[in-house]
Amino acid sequence: MSNKAFDIETKSFEIIDKEIGLHSYNESEWNIVRRVIHATADFDFAGNNLIIFHKNAIESAFQAIKNKCSIITDVDMVLSAINKKSLNNLGLRSICNISNLELVEEARKSNKTRSQMAMRYAATEMNGGIIVIGNAPTALYETLDMIKEGVTKPALIVGIPVGFVSAPESKNELTRMEVPFITNIGRKGGSPAAASIINAIMLLYQDKCH
């Protein structure tokens, strides 16, 4: 990062800290939430659309990274926004199957959306991996179904799909699962928010564990 970019980021974080003031997050959680606000310019992620952390979310993510996990995303936009330098430094692999032409026909035959089938295609990589969902509630629902079926067992789900249909409900269901998760309340979410969460986790790991 150039000095100018670093200065802008630092100043942005100072503004966010000042405007939010007191909050209930611990240091690691706040580093993640602050990056979401920085990526979206939306202070609601620390307010009405509060980001929620499972008690083991960060610990489980760190262990997965240590184990050289795969990171699976629901859409190419999330995949593209993941920090490639961090991925390379940590030796991690990122995967998105949504553009796989083979799954289009499979989705039709199975009466599933492409997002659902993309999750099914990544079942093996999900084991011990980190799943990052920013757009498709159907992808989150499918992932939760796969966990219930015993098909896969991820280390962490970042489930922050955006939208008016099924997004809040899918996130509510995620909070009732035993799997470690990071999610938020309500309709807001999206690719920038989802990618900023995994980027923040990777930076935290590099700072604390390297």
Question: How far is C-alpha 153 from the chain's CA centre?
Answer: 16
Token pair of 36, please? 């979401």
**Annotated catalytic residue: which of 23, 38, 54, 210?**
38
d(CA 61, CA 8): 28
The answer for residues whose C-beta is within 8 angstroms of residue 162's C-beta and 6 or more apart is 134, 135, 187, 188, 189, 190, 193
d(CA 174, CA 195): 18
Catalytic site includes residue 38: yes
- Chain position carrying tokens 């799909």: 161
Catalytic machinery residues: 38
